[in-house]
Amino acid sequence: MFRGIAAGAGLRVTGVPVDRDGIRVSGIRSPAVVITPAHQFPMGVTLSSQRRDELVRWAGAHGGLVIEDDYDGEFRFDRRQFGALQALAPDRVVYAGTASKTLAPGMRLAWLVLPRSLVDPVRTQMVRTGWRPPALDQLVFAELLESGAYDKHVRSRRAEYRDRRRRLEEAALPHLAITEQAAGLHVLAMLPPGGPGEAEVIEAAERQSLRLGALGEHWISAGPHPPGLLIGYATPAKHAFGPALEALRVSLGVLDAN
């Protein structure tokens, strides 16, 4: 999504390697970087505290801009809480939050915390494009926040999603190794080498009316790359989650057939 937006604005997009600690700061070759620190999309790792410090030092030393996309930071399952990177360098970090994961993507409600120097340019751009945040939705959201209902909702969703993730891991386990991830609303499962690839498993899932994501869509560097699946678990309604897991089990059967 970001790549398309940046490229559409005429910017050159380059990739930065990610390892178990998150983005490799020494690999940044651009003046701005987009990160998803709570749960790197799509690999799922959490940005380590050393890397956070390194990134803040990089931004200070190079006059770099960090765009911190906190898209699903509310959903950590290991009780570790991370403050926003933005607080460490408010002049160098743009913080972006969204209600898409906590409430619904269809609400189109999100927010930015901007370095002071970017407030006017962003406001000007919003005026120029004619885009206005929906006032009524914001007022309802403010009421949810003030009344404590939002916190309560996020807490109950977190418990529900933790349970879903455990059930998903159990359902997938005989076939797939799900990489350890302590946050978010999707998991990454690498496919065994030499067997059916991403497209075959995704097709098998489609036959069960289940949509899975392909890791292959997200690589920036030229391949070949190890195949993997992105499996989201927040979308099905409560009553539909069990049947969705069953559909996943059936779809993963294609891995046995080989």
Ligand X SMILES: Cc1ncc(COP(=O)(O)O)c(C=O)c1O
The residue ranges that bind ligand X (CB under 6 A) are 36, 41, 69, 71, 98, 100, 105, 110
Q: Least distance in Å: CB of 174 to ligand X?
A: 28
Q: Nearer to ligand X by C-beta: 7 or 110?
A: 110
Q: How many residues does the chain have?
A: 258
Instruction: For the chain, state the CA radius of gyration.
Output: 20
- Tell me how far, at minimum, the Cβ of 110 lies from ligand X, in Å: 5
Nearer CB in complex with ligand X: 68/198: 68
Q: At what angle do helices 149-172 and 135-147 cross, to 10 degrees?
A: 90
Say if CB 12 and CB 157 are below 8 A apart: no
Report d(CA 239, CA 114) in Å as an integer: 40
Euclidean distance between CA atoms 165 and 186, whole angstroms: 8
Closest approach, Cβ 80 to ligand X, in A, equals: 20
Q: CA nearest 69: which of 184, 151, 179, 154?
A: 184
Beta carbon nearer to ligand X, 43 or 202: 43
CB of 253 to ligand X, least distance (A): 28
Sequence-ordered alpha helix ranges (H) in the chain: 2-8, 49-62, 116-129, 135-147, 149-172, 198-207, 238-256
Cβ-based nearer residue to ligand X, 70 or 198: 70
What's the min distance (Å) between Cβ of 1 and ligand X?
6
Furthest C-alpha separation in the chain: 59
Comparison of 44 and 64: residue with beta carbon closer to ligand X: 44
